[in-house]
């Protein structure tokens, strides 16, 4: 993953970012927050084309540019064609051959106790969260500008434990280790790599249990220092902050965005 130039590369301003899973939930909040701060985006969606088009329209209404591309992050065989599509859109829309920041956000939930989780579910979680993060980043590295950024999404569940989330949290733990290794290996290109770890957020993720179940919502709020569960905009704003020029010297870190849960 490392091609080292002869001297340090300064951090580049982020003007175009690529966010996986940007059509809904946290990804949608991220691309909208970036648009509010003057950043254009390419973002992916798996199947919700109408939702993706609506997000593009919302970004354009803010005066920024956006392109939505279909991608299944669990299908590594598609990454080569996806990288070529990204290259083509960069040339068509932005008249450039590289983007500035990659956000590996797309993911799937997995709720099952370890004595119940299936091999099929483990394989699916691994393909999306671990294999997808490694191989998609690898494919896109030639398109990321020197001095750019990579942000990998983890979870508060990689720090604290809740029954039924062991397999999912283990994948996110692997993502956190990968982040540190990426930071070391991509450092010679001036690319910083960090982990953003949201806590419980009111989205449709995991069937919307945090958003739609009042008992779960209240339980989590009671364990959180700031007294509520998270909202998508909390994470979108944190991602935008991490990609800002003022965060250029943050590297190889795990940043939890959880309101102070289980402190």
We report the CATH number of the domain holding residue 225 as 3.40.50.720
**Could you list the residue range(s) of the whole structural domain that residue 136 is in?**
16-255
Q: Tell whether 10 is covered by a domain.
A: no
168 catalytic residue (yes or no)? yes
How many CB atoms neighbour CB 241 within 10 A? Answer: 16
Q: Tell whether 167 is covered by a domain.
A: yes
Comparing CA positions, the residue from 19, 3, 144, 138 lying closest to residue 80 is 138
Q: Tell whether 99 is covered by a domain.
A: yes
Q: Tell whether 55 is covered by a domain.
A: yes
Instruction: Name the catalytic one among 43, 99, 165, 168.
Output: 168
Kindly report the pTM of this predicted structure.
Answer: 0.94
Q: Tell whether 4 is covered by a domain.
A: no
Q: Tell whether 8 is covered by a domain.
A: no
How many structural domains are present in the chain? 1
CB 17 within 8 A of CB 34: yes
Q: Tell whether 9 is covered by a domain.
A: no
The per-residue pLDDT string of the chain (263 residues; one tens digit each, 9 = 90 and over) reads: 655 555 789 888 899 999 999 999 999 999 999 999 999 999 999 999 999 999 999 999 999 999 999 999 999 999 999 999 999 999 999 999 999 999 999 999 988 999 999 999 999 999 999 999 999 999 999 999 999 999 999 999 999 998 999 999 999 999 999 999 999 999 999 999 999 999 988 877 666 667 767 788 888 888 899 999 999 999 999 999 999 999 999 999 999 999 999 99
């Amino acid at each position: 993953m490392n091609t080292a130039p002869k001297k340090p590369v300064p951090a580049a301003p982020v003007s175009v970012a690529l966010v996986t899973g940007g059509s809904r939930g946290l990804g949608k909040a991220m691309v909208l927050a970036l648009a509010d701060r003057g950043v254009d985006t390419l973002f992916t969606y798996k199947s919700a084309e109408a939702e993706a088009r609506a997000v593009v329209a919302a970004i354009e209404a803010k005066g920024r540019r956006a392109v939505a591309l279909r991608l299944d992050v669990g299908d590594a065989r598609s990454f080569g064609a996806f990288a070529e599509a990204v290259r083509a859109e960069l040339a068509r829309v932005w008249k450039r051959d590289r983007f500035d920041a990659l956000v590996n956000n797309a993911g799937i939930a997995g709720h099952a106790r370890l004595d119940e989780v299936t091999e099929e579910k483990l394989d699916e979680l691994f393909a999306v969260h671990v294999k997808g993060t490694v191989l998609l980043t690898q494919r896109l590295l030639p398109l990321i500008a020197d001095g750019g950024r990579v942000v990998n999404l983890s979870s508060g569940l990689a720090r604290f434990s809740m029954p039924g989330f062991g397999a999912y949290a283990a994948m996110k733990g692997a993502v956190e280790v990968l982040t540190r290794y990426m930071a070391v290996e991509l450092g010679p290109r001036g690319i910083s790599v960090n982990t953003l770890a949201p806590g419980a957020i009111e989205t449709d993720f995991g069937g919307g249990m945090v958003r739609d179940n009042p008992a779960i919502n209240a339980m989590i709020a009671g364990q959180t220092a700031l007294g509520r569960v998270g909202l998508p905009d909390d994470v979108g704003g944190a991602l935008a902050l991490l990609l800002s020029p003022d965060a250029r010297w943050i590297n190889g870190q795990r940043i939890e965005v959880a309101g102070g849960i289980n402190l």
